[in-house]
Chains A and B, each alone.
Chain A
Amino acid sequence: MSPRVVFPNKILPYLLVAPQLAITLVFFYWPASQALRQSMLREDPFGLSSKFVWFDNFKKVLSDPNYLNSIQVTAIFSVSVAAVAMGTALLLAVMAEKVVRSRNLYRTLMIWPYAVAPAIAGMLWLFLFNPSIGSLAYGLRWLGINWDPLLDGEHAMALVVAAASWKQISYNFLFFVAGLQAIPKTLIEAAAIDGAGENKRFWTIVFPLLAPTTFFLLVVNTVYAFFDTFGIIHAVTGGGPGKSTETLVYKVYNDGFVNLILGDSAAQSVILMVIVIALTAIQFRYVEKKVHYG
């Protein structure tokens, strides 16, 4: 337990938290309550006529095959992004540990992509894999792959997964490096003396000891794939072809801001809010306690 700070003045603590509370109220509770209200209304875009429909919008959304499709798309997308981003980051972090000279330079370079804005990252990958002008697309075609992310849903999915993972690798890398440094060298050395090979040492000592970090990153990466990849999808595929890369968040945007069906869009964002609350609860309950920060 952390030590308790006791203020002699009864009002002062409230004053001190007031600005933060005000910000939370204005920027979180107020919009969230608006979303809740909107999710039970059926309204024209201008708000000239509105009808209170209780949970009809939720019923409509949940029975919409397109919504079920976007749940599936989001699941595939999130699992792939988390797997690719974490797998690659772990590999790079383990390799970075082995570098003897200019280790810091190597690490710094690894962190750079994190500073790139999602939309820019999306554009980068879009250009690299543009079927007509992209240099990497040229390579794929040379390999005999009929690369066409504009019409082939799987290609489009691969492209957004690559772009989204690439951006997240840096973040994961940082945490894995910290996690690796927290593992006592003596354990590894002892295992080495006992004759355990490099692979064996990694899978029986390093990987289990990294578990808290991995679990933490799994939650963070899932949240990232769910909520922070809008810019990438918007820039690269716009949810297409068909609806093959329309994630839950993208559908909220599309229904609300392109199709102007505010009720449906609000209902979807309320569902997303429930999901993110659940994910955060999991993180606090199971993860926060166990993670060792370097």
Chain B
Amino acid sequence: MKTLGFAAGIAATMTLLSSTSAFAVTEISWWHAMTGANNEVVEQLSKEFNESQSDYKIVPVFKGTYPETLNAGIAAFRAKQAPHIIQVFDVGTGVMMGAEGAIKPVADILSMGGKAFDKSQYLPGIVAYYSKPDGTMLSFPYNSSSPILYYNKDIFQKAGLDADNPPKTWPEVFEAAKKIKTSGAANCGYTSTWLTWIGLENFAAWNNLQYGTNENGLAGTDVELKFNSEPFVKHFQAIADLAKDGTFKYGGRTSEAKQLFLAGECGLFTESSGGLGDVIKSGMNYGLGQLPYYPDLEGTPQNTIPGGASLWVFGDKSDEEYKGVAAFFTFLSQTPIQARLHQVSGYLPVTIAAYDETKKSGFYDKNPGREIPITQMMGKAPTENSKGVRLINLPQVRDIENEEFEKMLAGQQTAQQALDNAVTRGNKAIQEAIGN
């Protein structure tokens, strides 16, 4: 009984609190998955927004990892308690997009804020990824990143490689990796985080290869996977061969390989530009380069595709609340804020103005390499192979890909078998997910 009384007391207080605050300002809840330094940015932005006006109050709530946040949002929606804004990682984009009745397109919301929404102010490569096939922007890109090449300059020097000129193509990377290993400069030549995101999705876009039909899912949900074509097989067989003597070292399915690079165990490393913070913190003598490509393929390098996360708005709120969300997104789009976000976090700026501003300030001259992820993504107009990958069940398909890669790297199957299996299993899972 004591618990009951206590609970009732809490409930009463909560009602009292929420009714008093609702009287004064409209609260906008923002569920996010940012930890550490990035969490501080979230708090800081919310504080600045709340102090800048008195009609709305952004309440950021940390909900755990990316998948946990997405699940919390989905569960809350089912219980009719959804937050206003939720941060969803790139892989969850297809999931959110499949739920048309549950979300409200950000383009609609931004125009509710009074000003007409001008899409041309935003970086096209990023906006295209978060838009419907008809071009409507569905979510607000908050933190976008792109995979780049990192290398350890000390190891390069020890191995007799040119520390000022990182390898540009995959054959060069593999040569350099072998040299690092055979010269004894390091235990392992090359490692990578996210073999799925970097090795398949971005590999396809950057080399202008087809990942799946229907523009990799951007034009429709019925996708047939195509990543078992010859260039993919060749690339992964090369990696599998290097794995045999440890020239390539596998770290894990997500960012675990970062440890290997930070510990100085591997000389070359492909990872998200968002991982730069940890590399800087480690104090190592690092260099940055473009994501490698295959020069013999037509039109390469094409462009990379964004990773990271975007902000989605749930669809069952009042107009007054949407106005608050619009005000917050407009606040976030301001050039000084975007420029600062970009320079502090290593994530990409969302607006063209913020990019120009950073450029003018001389930031890229002082921090060479920081512009690479942007030029990679913006260098060319995207083709139908390089707008992004969007599957209704991308998390599941990535799991399948990872499982097959692990068997391949353990020497249980060839690259051809691994990719064929991943395609067959992935296609089956996609068909089930779209209800066939």
A260 within 8 A of B: yes
- Are A132 and B259 within 8 A (Cβ)? yes
In the assembled complex, the CB of B103 is this many whole angstroms from the nearest CB of chain A, namely 9
- Are B263 and A150 within 8 A (Cβ)? no
In the assembled complex, the CB of A129 is this many whole angstroms from the nearest CB of chain B, namely 14
CA distance A243 to B405 in the complex (A): 12
- Are A242 and B407 within 8 A (Cβ)? yes
CA distance A241 to B256 in the complex (A): 14
CA distance A46 to B95 in the complex (A): 9
Classify the secondary structure of B's interface with A. helix
* Residue with the highest number of chain B CB atoms closer than 10 Å, among A46, A48, A153, A241: A46
Map CB proximity to B onto A153-171 as digits: 1 under 8 Å, 0 otherwise.
1000000000000000000
- Are B71 and A257 within 8 A (Cβ)? yes
Query: A interface, how many residues as a size bin?
Result: 20 to 34
The verdict on A151 contacting B265 (CB below 8 Å), with A240-B253, A257-B67 known, is: no
CA distance A84 to B53 in the complex (A): 63
Query: B interface, how many residues as a size bin?
Result: 20 to 34
In the assembled complex, the CB of B337 is this many whole angstroms from the nearest CB of chain A, namely 31
A42 proximity list for chain B (CB < 8 A): 435
B231 within 8 A of A: no
In the assembled complex, the CB of B406 is this many whole angstroms from the nearest CB of chain A, namely 4
CA distance A211 to B222 in the complex (A): 59
- Binding stretch for chain A, among B12-20, B368-376, B391-399: B391-399
Contact of B396 among A133, A153, A240, A258 (CB under 8 A): A258
In the assembled complex, the CB of B246 is this many whole angstroms from the nearest CB of chain A, namely 10
B294 within 8 A of A: no
In the assembled complex, the CB of B284 is this many whole angstroms from the nearest CB of chain A, namely 15
CA distance A151 to B404 in the complex (A): 11
B106 proximity list for chain A (CB < 8 A): none
- Are A48 and B410 within 8 A (Cβ)? no
B98 proximity list for chain A (CB < 8 A): 44-45
B114 within 8 A of A: no
- Are B252 and A150 within 8 A (Cβ)? yes
A238 within 8 A of B: yes
- Are A259 and B399 within 8 A (Cβ)? yes
* Residue with the highest number of chain B CB atoms closer than 10 Å, among A19, A242, A254, A261: A242
Contact of B410 among A46, A241, A260 (CB under 8 A): A241
B265 proximity list for chain A (CB < 8 A): 132
B60 proximity list for chain A (CB < 8 A): none
- Are B95 and A45 within 8 A (Cβ)? yes
Of all chain A residues, the one with the shortest Cβ separation from B266 is A132
Binding site for A on B (CB under 8 A): 1, 67, 71, 74, 77-78, 95, 98-102, 250-253, 259-260, 263, 265, 393, 395-396, 399, 402-404, 406-407, 409-410, 432-433, 435
A-B contact pairs, 18 of them (CB 8 A): A19-B1, A44-B98, A46-B77, A48-B101, A133-B263, A150-B406, A151-B250, A151-B406, A240-B253, A241-B406, A241-B407, A242-B407, A257-B71, A259-B393, A259-B396, A259-B399, A260-B74, A260-B95
Binding site for B on A (CB under 8 A): 19, 42, 44-48, 132-133, 150-153, 238, 240-243, 254, 257-261
